[in-house]
Structure 1
Amino acid sequence: MSKDPRVEAALNHWAPRFVANGIPLTDFQEVTASIERWEDWCSAWADRGAIHEEMGRQALDAGYGLSAGEHLTTAGVCYHFAKFLFVNDVEQMRATHMRAVECRNLALPHLLPPGERVEIPYEGKSLYGILRKPADIADPPVVILAMGLDSSKEEMGAYERLFLERGLATCTFDGPGQGEGEYDFGIRHDYEVPVGAVVDFLEGRSDVDAGRAGLWGVSLGGYYAPRAAAYEKRIKACIGLSGPYDWGAVWDSLPDLTRNAFTVRSHAANEEEARDLAKKLSLNGVAPEITCPIYIVTGKLDRLISYTDAERLAAEVSGPVELLVIEDGNHVANNRAYRYRLQTADWMADQLHAAG
């Protein structure tokens, strides 16, 4: 039996991301080999997540905090990938997502350095994030990590580590239409609004230097971060990974999984309404407002967002720009993570004058 085209699409576009962001290779191979129908995607990944969760809870009970943190983080990543595009069954998706959140929250006190779940006031309710600070550094600069369409804060440990090792605090948050934020708030094009709320929150903290705040965004977050940096001038440096220049312009070429997820997470009544919102997610006329330093990464083999979008953004910004085009990189170049992850972390540390 041939695999469901939706399963094939998920693997063709995102396979390297799973392993680069914390899924053990054998888990990836075994779970994906077992799935024929998209309807079985969420439960198959949740079953694997449960194995790691059980080991994490056993380690907690035995007093092995470091091991518990690692097992529970892996469980959270498994549960995240169970739900990442599973919008065809929102009830199942949300229940699995809550398991990801629970496991990551249980892991946070046992990480090196530890993490703190934070609640960020936003439009009368809250957005949720994870704040981590490098050890033995007072008032570190802070990098705000912005998610894409199908990522969430529970997936971001691999990226957080790179900044933390370089003396930068991290504030990874789920914005509108993302992770925990997707249930109360739909996607919005003016992402400077939620980013502004995060900076406001950080300015109220005494343990990070919000005057040295950077912003990082991945995939659709590679649109959100530059957009926010254009208008939220408290952002001192920005990294954009494989973001679209104009989401509406690529709408018809996107996988069905992606369009469906955008429709659900934008709280649109139908795909036409979602398409209308997608047209607002454009950097046309916005890019020249970006005056802070920006580092843009793209892969020439990206089949979701053409590398030419990154080239156009780089040509139009008004501030200092670094453009890295990875010749054999796929979407977010996760198949060549070593070509940009360390380099962008070093760059951000330089821009924010980190002490690490």
Structure 2
Amino acid sequence: MNKDPRVQAATAHWSGRFVSNGVPLADFQDVTNSIDRWETWCEAWSARGAIHEELGRESLAGGFKLSAGQHLTVAGVCYHFGKFLFVQDPDQMQIAHRKAVECRNLALENLSPAGERVAIPYEGKTLYGNLRKPIGTDSPSVVVMAMGLDSAKEEMETNEGVFLERGMATLAFDGPGQGEAEYDFAICPEYERPIGAVIEWLSKRTDINSENLGIWGVSLGGYYAPRAAAFDHRIKACISLTGPFDLGACFDNMPSLTQAAFIHRSKAGSTNAAKKIAARLSLRGIAEKIVCPLYVVAGKLDRVIPHEHALQLADSATGEVTLNLIEDGGHVANNRIYKYRSQSADWMANQLNIY
């Protein structure tokens, strides 16, 4: 049987993201090699997640809390990658999603540093996030982490780590159309609204220095983060990882799975309606309002968001801009994380006066 082209594309292009965000390479190879049809994708990744979940629960029962947290985090990532683009079967997608959240929540208190599941009021409902604070730092500065179209807070362990290791707290949260919030809210082009609610919530915490706050966004979050920074000047520094400058301009050329996920999570109901929403995700006439320092990452081999979008953002922002154009990087340059992940974290630490 010939492999489904969607599975072939996943195998060819997603290894960097999966492995750099916590999936063991052998697991990526085993699972993708075992799948011929996209329809079995979620089931296969959920089965692999269950293996790590069992190891985590065994460690927890034995009192090995750190090991439990690590196993359960990997389980959560595997379940997450089962559901992340599996929008054609919402019921199966939601079952895998619940397992991802359950495993990460169970992991949080057993990690080093530990994490806290938090609930943030937003438009009469709730946005959920994971707050983690560096060990040995009172009232640390904080980096708010904006997810993308198909990422969620359960995928953020390795991305959180580079900030935590440098003395910054992290708050990874699911905003409208993302993770746990995708059921209550559609994608929100005006992302300064949920970010404003998050900052207001943080300002009430006595254990976080919310007056020294940065924002980080990945993929579509690479649009959300600078969009928020343009309107909310409480944000002291911004990192944008291969986000679109104008999503409507590249919608037609995005991979079919990405388009389907946008249609689903925007609650558009059709391709034409989704394109109208995508056209609202634009920084034209907005990027000029970004006055805080901005760190922009682009992969020149990006097949999802052309790297020219990052160049346009870098050219348009008013404040100080650092552009990291990675010649051999794909989308989010996940295949070359060593060329930007630690560098951008060091940059953020400098901007927030950690160093």
TM-score tier after normalising by the smaller chain length:
over 0.9
Q: Quick check: 1:14–1:331 contact (8 Å CA) kept in 2? A: no
Structure 1 residue 232 displacement after superposition: 1.2
In 1, distance between residues paired with 2:260 and 2:213? 33
* Residue equivalent to 2:333: 333
State the Cα deviation string for residues 180-230 of structure 1 (Å, max 9, x = none). 010000001000000001101100100000001100000111111111110
The answer to whether 1:245 aligns with 2:222 is no
> Secondary structure at the residue paired with 1:188?
coil
2:344 counterpart letter in structure 1: T
* Residue equivalent to 2:188: 188
* Residue equivalent to 1:122: 122
Structure 1 residue 303 displacement after superposition: 1.1
Structure 1 residue 9 displacement after superposition: 2.6
* Identity in percent: 61
State the Cα deviation string for residues 134-182 of structure 1 (Å, max 9, x = none). 0111110000000000000000000101000000000000000000010
Superposed, 1:263-278 pairs within 5 Å as 263-278=263-278
The answer to whether 1:220 aligns with 2:220 is yes
In 2, distance between residues paired with 1:226 and 1:110? 33
In 2, distance between residues paired with 1:335 and 1:117? 30
Structure 1 residue 30 displacement after superposition: 0.2
The answer to whether 1:322 aligns with 2:316 is no
TM-score, with normalisation over the residues of structure 1?
0.99
In 1, distance between residues paired with 2:8 and 2:200? 42
* Residue equivalent to 1:160: 160
* Residue equivalent to 1:44: 44
Q: Quick check: 1:13–1:304 contact (8 Å CA) kept in 2? A: no
Q: Quick check: 1:9–1:255 contact (8 Å CA) kept in 2? A: no
In 2, distance between residues paired with 1:79 and 1:288? 39
> Secondary structure at the residue paired with 1:210?
coil
Superposed, 1:249-328 pairs within 5 Å as 249-328=249-328
> Secondary structure at the residue paired with 2:210?
strand
Superposed, 1:76-155 pairs within 5 Å as 76-155=76-155
List structure 1 runs of 4+ shifted beyond 4 angstroms.
Answer: none
In 2, distance between residues paired with 1:159 and 1:200? 23
In 2, distance between residues paired with 1:142 and 1:2? 48
Q: Quick check: 1:148–1:220 contact (8 Å CA) kept in 2? A: yes
In 2, distance between residues paired with 1:97 and 1:168? 28
2:124 counterpart letter in structure 1: G
> Secondary structure at the residue paired with 2:267?
coil
Say which is worse superposed, 337-346 or 2-11, in terms of deviation.
Answer: 2-11
In 1, distance between residues paired with 2:286 and 2:10? 31
Q: Quick check: 1:132–1:170 contact (8 Å CA) kept in 2? A: yes
CA RMSD of aligned residues (A): 0.8
Structure 1 residue 269 displacement after superposition: 2.1
Structure 1 residue 32 displacement after superposition: 0.3
Q: Quick check: 1:13–1:303 contact (8 Å CA) kept in 2? A: no
1:226 counterpart letter in structure 2: P
> Secondary structure at the residue paired with 2:27?
helix
Q: Quick check: 1:140–1:354 contact (8 Å CA) kept in 2? A: no
Say which is worse superposed, 302-311 or 174-183, in terms of deviation.
Answer: 302-311
1:300 counterpart letter in structure 2: K
Q: Quick check: 1:202–1:208 contact (8 Å CA) kept in 2? A: yes
In 2, distance between residues paired with 1:317 and 1:101? 36
* Residue equivalent to 2:201: 201
Superposed, 1:225-240 pairs within 5 Å as 225-240=225-240
> Secondary structure at the residue paired with 1:208?
coil
Structure 1 residue 14 displacement after superposition: 2.3
Structure 1 residue 15 displacement after superposition: 2.2
In 1, distance between residues paired with 2:135 and 2:202? 18
Paired residue total = 355
Q: Quick check: 1:245–1:309 contact (8 Å CA) kept in 2? A: yes
